[in-house]
Amino acid sequence: MLKGLTAKSLSRTLLSTALTGAMLASGWAVAADEPGKALAAKAGVPWPAVIAHRGASFNAPEETVPSYTLARELGADYLEMDIQRTRDGVLIALHDDTLERTTNIAGVYPTRTKDPVSSFTLEELKRLDAGSWFNKAHADRARASYAGLKILTLDEVIDIAEGGKNKPGLYIETKVPAQFPGIEEDLRRKLEQRGWLSQRPEADKGYVNVAHTPGRVVLQTFEKPSLELLHKAMPHTPKVLLLWLGDGSIQAASDQTFKDSGAKDKASFYATQQVKSKEEFAAWMDWAKAHGAIGTGPASALRNGGDQSYMDLVQPWMNKMAHDRGLIVHPYTVDDAVDFKEIGSHGVDGFFTNRASELLKFYGRPSKESMDSILKRIGY
């Protein structure tokens, strides 16, 4: 029995601790016994994690200097990137495996518009404009200074991560890894060479300090063989298995395709998709755990649909299944408060987001500086 506490006051204290933890104006509630919180701490990963998906890519062209620098300055925990390799062997950060959507390739290499990224040298890629597409696609967020932005190497993204007072971590995906045999070992060499596989300096007090922690790098992939190779190359670096339904990933209950479904858009089709069985989902959790993952990155369905709204792989029972096996859960890609709240209430441990500013607000740690002010200060 603790001194100074009556039985009644002790039980009141315990009850209140267990039930509430904290509740923010944003609607984010923290239970005292969040299972993912302890698991994240064990893996050295911040909880809940703000993972800036392709940088602050709602506000600046994805995977470019302003996108990553803005994410760092806002205070995101991680800069997320998709890694590919050029024909001359350089690791670069780029999502799509062709250059049509995010560059002016049609103007520069008109006969190569559908060629894979892997068929270009770095020098060829650096001739492309990776910013103007954003201004055309998002007139409301366009900036003249985005025109002419370059595709970045992994080295250049690391320079950005290291270059400010905030010291975010790196959340690195091997993209279409079967196209790039040996990329896992290339990645290990680069991270080792840059000093990211061992302890890094501490950030000044009050700044993001993820790069100093054991979770400074998180490796992610949709592909089981790549997870195995990443684990072999970097056994002590946290790894996350990304989850999808169908197409060689988790088996769906139905093999109906989008085309046959008659659904009005892909989000509506995905919303109808279900996992074949609880056993099938459990088998993926077991596989991830047995092959070195510390977490999963599931697809999620968004309240208002859109082209980032996928199948719902973050149902409470799924998150519990992951947590019960010691896996944390980082869903992709969530940008709106309504979804942060809804999906968050199902027990996840952070989000991939294009809108780090909004997620930071939701978690009660908003940037003190406005987005506009940061972009001007960093030269955009």
Per rule CB under 6 A, is residue 312 in the interface with ligand G3P? no
Q: In the numeric block, which tokens belong to residue 291?
A: 């092959």
Q: Are 96 and 57 in contact (CB under 8 A)?
A: no
Per rule CB under 5 A, is residue 223 in the interface with Ca ion? no
Active site residue 330: no
Q: Are 105 and 99 in contact (CB under 8 A)?
A: yes
- List the one residue from 34, 129, 173, 335 that touches Ca ion (CB under 5 A): 173
Per rule CB under 5 A, is residue 62 in the interface with Ca ion? no
**Binding-site size, ligand G3P (CB under 6 A):** 10
CB of 25 to ligand G3P, least distance (A): 29
- List the one residue from 270, 332, 340, 380 that touches ligand G3P (CB under 6 A): 332
Residues in 72-91 at the binding interface with ligand G3P, rule: CB under 6 A? 82
- For ligand G3P, the closer of residues 217 and 242 by Cβ is 242
174 binds, among ligand G3P, Ca ion, none (CB under 5 to 8 A by kind): none
CB of 17 to ligand G3P, least distance (A): 34
Q: Return the exposure string of 9-37: e unless at least 16 CB atoms fall within 10 Å of the residue's CB, then b.
A: eeeeeeeeeeeeeeeeebebebeeebbbb
Residues in 139-178 at the binding interface with ligand G3P, rule: CB under 6 A? 173
Alpha carbons 190 and 192: distance in angstroms, whole number: 5
Active site residue 236: no
CB of 253 to ligand G3P, least distance (A): 22
Label the pairing between strands 169-174 and 295-298: unpaired
Per rule CB under 6 A, is residue 335 in the interface with ligand G3P? no
Q: In the numeric block, which tokens belong to residue 315?
A: 């149902």
Q: Are 47 and 40 in contact (CB under 8 A)?
A: yes
Angle at 168 between CA 166 and CA 169, to 5 degrees: 160
Catalytic residue among 95, 138, 291, 346: 95
Per rule CB under 5 A, is residue 335 in the interface with Ca ion? no
Identity of residue 304 = N
- For Ca ion, the closer of residues 348 and 375 by Cβ is 348
Alpha carbons 39 and 33: distance in angstroms, whole number: 11
Alpha carbons 191 and 173: distance in angstroms, whole number: 13
Positions that interact with ligand G3P (CB under 6 A): 53, 82, 95, 173, 220, 242, 297, 332-333, 352
Catalytic positions, please? 53, 95
